[in-house]
Amino acid sequence: MERVGGSGSLAGVSQQPADERPAATPPDAGIPTRVWLVATLTVAGLEMIRASGPLLDRAFATSALAAGSTAIGTYAAAGLVAAAALLASRRETGVPSPRTVLLAAVALAVGRLAAQAAAGDALFWIGLVTVALAIGTLTLAVAFVAGRPGGGRQAAIGLLLGSGLSVGLQMVLGTWDAVWRPGWSGWVVAVVIAVAPLLTARSLSGTRAAAASATGRPRRLWTLGPFLALTAMILANPAFVASQTGISLGIAGLLLVVAGSVAIWLLLRPEAWPGAVRPAAVALVVLGTAGTMWWTGALSLVAIVVLQLAVGIVATVALTQHKVTPRGVWRTAGVVALTGVGAVVPLVLYMLDYDVPLPVDNAWVVVAAAAVLAGTGLRRRIPDGRGVADAAAADGRATERVPPRINAMRWLMAPALVLALAALVPVGVSTTGPDVPARAPSDTPTILTWNLHYGVSPGTAVDLEGIARTIAAQHPDVVTLQEVERGWIFGGGTDMATWLANRLGMTMRFAPAADRQFGNVILSRSALAHVVVHPLPYGAGPQNRSALSATMVTRDGSALRVTSVHLQHRQENTPTRLDQLDTLLADEPVDGPSLVAGDLNAEPGWPEIDLLEGAGWVSAVDSAGDPDALTSPSDDPNARIDWIFGQQVTFDQMEVLTTPRQSDHLPVVARATPAG
């Protein structure tokens, strides 16, 4: 059979020390199983990273400092997980064995299933422990796989494969993760996520060919941290891609999986990489991240694909062993803790900027994480292409190449593609949700407004189904929503706008506010026309705000202009809110029946309300409801800051719904009859 790599590859091998030369072999049971182990743990790890957002939001209710310290403590605790697994498996060297990974996977499975069964305070604590278990176990698995000849590339393939599987699974679930689903579907997915890595680790532990222990751990294992941060925020976040680029959620998910599959295919090629590949990949990771964060539309889409194709090469180089690393349980535990911190710090800094602004644009945080990751790919030498087909040749056997067309590793990409394609049916390819009639079914449309707090309830849950049921029970013709997230990690990474539109059978329009992953929405049972996004003055900050206006038509042909708005939230920022209202009223002059609804962060008698009433706007609660009704916080209301105002309409009915607790605000519903 043909020798690996030809003369060029052999020349490259001769420059490496003997203990760094990977031996090429047909893919045996060991390589695909090791790759699959990393992939399944990547799915579990990314799910728990997303879950940590709503969990940390509970700490954020105390203060930004509490949220930051809780985040760093939780992710750094992954080092304790690694130390416990290494000591329990008697790996005093700090180099993980199959048994080390198996013990950690058992603990992760228990934690993941316990989190599925828990709620409230118990979920908060169990969830944070499970986050640490997921990061610790994944890092140990990457160390185990990468700590052998050719293992760096195998680990990188497993990470990319797991990212694609995570996207496919999110798409099937409509981006609403199983950890928040109380029904049978949540349990089925939870069991799969918990058991798949456990069975794979058990298989490695019981198979002699596959169980050959690693010879060390990569010196730059900590690079997994920024890799996970970029992956959670962008590369395994279809909601982010959909909102950032303007394409539909279904197409965004499929694009990520396809681009990831191409990236894996590039890593599977048996030929040596040309010398220019490494520096090009390093540059493209940084440039692709920058383009993703600062561009929108087609340019952002191109940047995301470029980033996806380049990041696997950088990860391969970073995770490949080049030097013997210092050994010891606590050295490895420290590296694992650093990995966890490296994963969460970019995410937390990016999110906390919307409450405690950084001195620079928070997109720089993500670009900096990409630069750190890319820097680990700067090596004098690049691994030759044979590492893909390598086994841990502990017994010194002679090995040979298998033609790429029959490489079994390629079949591992199929599940993610199947899931992404299957999700196109329920998710669809429309950017605005289901088709709806041209006119509303009523002459007196019902409007509901609700600040959804990016889907996170005071009881530490993400209950999109509960939100949908609360809305559906009122049979609204139009819904104005604020704090709707589309890929925000603090909200669990869901695409709330698309999910609610599909669940309620309503068309949807979204207006970015803090960024393109967070803003205002209008849902309607009938067509929306003349859609306009109004940026509002930043003022005292700390967050960009916007208003979204659209026109619906009632059954009798009357046009009704509807605006969803969210004003600045700090109590002392009345001047900023007044400027925002002045801007909105100037941009949206009244020319027929109109409604303005949303979270004004202003109470009765404040200057903001006086401004609106002085401009001719009538409050629904004051004209047709209970003026004493309060809307925030939902678990113990003490303020009325959510409003529905109208001009050239008559409010026939108004109510503040007091039973739902899916947000920190209560929804307000009213029925409005257009004049004339």
Note the pLDDT of residue 379: 64
**Tell me: the pLDDT tens digits for 181-210?**
999 999 999 999 999 999 999 988 766 544
Exposed / middle / buried, residue 379 (Cβ in 10 Å: 0-12, 13-18, 19+): middle
Query: Model confidence over 138-150: pLDDT tens digits?
Result: 999 999 999 888 8
**Residues paired with 651 in a beta bridge:** 672
Token pair in block for residue 177? 């993760």
Q: How confident is the model at residue 660 (pLDDT cuts 50, 70, 90)?
A: confident
Query: Which segment of 22-36, 41-55, 287-301, 614-628 scores lowest on mean pLDDT?
Result: 22-36
- Can you say whether residue 54 is alpha, beta or left, with left for phi > 0 and alpha for psi between -120 and 50 degrees? alpha
What is the rounded distance in angstroms from the CA atom of residue 226 to the CA atom of residue 603? 43
Q: Which residue has the tokens 């841990």?
A: 392
The full length of the chain comes to 676
Question: Is pLDDT above 90 for 327?
Answer: no
The pTM of this model reads 0.92
- For 110, 489, 506, the CA distances from 492, given in Å and listed in that order, are 21, 5, 23
83 contacts 96 by C-beta, under 8 angstroms? no
* pLDDT(25) > 60: no
Instruction: Note the pLDDT tens digit of each residue in 426-452.
Output: 898 999 999 999 999 999 999 999 999
Over residues 375-417, the pLDDT tens digits come to 988 864 544 444 433 433 332 233 334 344 446 678 889 999 9
Q: Looking at residue 175, what is its pLDDT? A: 97
* pLDDT over 80 (residue 307): yes
- pLDDT over 90 for what percent of the chain? 80
Averaged pLDDT of the chain: 90
Note the pLDDT of residue 391.
34
Residue 620 identity: A
What is the number of other CB atoms lying within 10 angstroms of the CB of residue 25? 22
- The larger pLDDT score, comparing residue 38 to residue 6, is at 38
Mean pLDDT of 592-621: 98
Element (H, E) at 38: helix 30-60
For the chain, percent of residues with pLDDT exceeding 70: 90
- State pLDDT tens for residues 225-234: 999 999 999 9
> How far is the C-alpha of 40 from the C-alpha of 197, rounded, in Å?
5
